[in-house]
Amino acid sequence: MLIGVPREVKNNEDRVGLNAPAVHELERHGHEVIVQSGAGIGSGITDEAYRAAGAEIVDGADEVWQRADMIVKVKEPLPEEHKFLRKDQVLFTYLHLAADKALTDALLEAGTTAIAYETVQLPDRSLPLLTPMSMIAGRLATQVAAYHLMAPLDGSGMLMGGVPGTPAAKLLVVGGGIVGEQAAIMAYGLQAEVTVIDLNVPRLNQLAITHHGHFRTRYSTALDLADEIATADVVIGSVLIPGKRAPKLVTDEMVRSMKPGSVLVDVAIDQGGCFEHSRPTTHDDPTFAVHDTVYYCVANMPGSVPVTATRALNNATIPYVLKLADRGWQDALRADEALAKGLHTHAGKLVHDGTAEAHGLELTDRQEVLG
């Protein structure tokens, strides 16, 4: 199979779909890889490193898209890339289609076979291709929150952990999954006062035991959430329903109750965000004001640490890329139910229930497509 790796075009997105070791593995399996010149520079990977691993380097994105049997990316195709989509091609990347009607329509119109990293799901319900980026995003969420608490950035002027004789910031994590756990770990390390709120009591028990009570846990109801938000200096939203739009849990009324200069970081923004006023922002212009608070809603947070993120992502994705290349997408999905759950579109048919529900579109049974 011929696998193509275009350069990412999203704002400040310096990750790359395949690194040099991944290219080498594909070459060892008898496949060919073409990489757009400069695609890996932001992740510290030169064109020479790709060539040494066996890749062919080409100048333009159009040649990569036109020639490749499968495109391996990091982020979803942006509108300027929709023209490249075609029927006889597999696209393997993060898609987040439940929050992107335009891309969903483009994939259906083109007939592309689109497989999303974020909905590949193992029998234990874990998300192996989302987990590494969730870990990074969770850790970054606390870092950016601590930074934006500073007064010159319109924050409240608090130091996250304070110093002896002064109060530490109160940090609330909404959602106790991978993102939430990593955010809480980082916040505890900065000596903040940390609370994790979630609907899943067994998960709250697990967090409390695993982390030896280093942060408080609280069961989530609308009243409990409002109570915690009213006193929080930082709120990190990390709610995830795989493949579906995130629920809007933090309302305008709740935000109105917060102290001036409080910071809200919505890590769920790729799936539409879990705060009422959330809208995607960029690394160039990451924040906006809501009442007297600061919202941070960057849709590709791990893109800011591409050297770490590209390596972590490739560690997770390369076994699945090899399956798709070695067996072809249909046989690979028939043989691996976890990978099959990543399939969203094929030949103009939508096969993922979360995307169909989000946009009110007709759903085709996945088994009908797989045969």
Classify burial at 69, counting beta carbons within 10 Å of its beta carbon; exposed 0-12, middle 13-18, buried 19 or more.
Answer: middle
Q: Distance from CA of residue 328 to its chain's centroid?
A: 26
**How far is residue 143's CA from residue 141's CA, in Å, rounded to a whole number?**
5
Q: What angle do CA 254, 240, 277 make, to 5 degrees?
A: 35
Host H or E run for residue 1: none
φ/ψ of 134, rounded to 5, equals -65, -40
For tokens 């350069």, name the residue.
7
Q: What angle do CA 300, 336, 137 make, to 5 degrees?
A: 20
For tokens 């606390």, name the residue.
142
**How far is residue 271's CA from residue 335's CA, in Å, rounded to a whole number?**
28
355, two tokens: 């995307």
**Active-site residue numbers?**
96, 270
Partners of residue 298 on adjacent β-strands: 281
Tell me the H-state helices in 54-200.
Answer: 61-67, 101-110, 131-148, 178-189
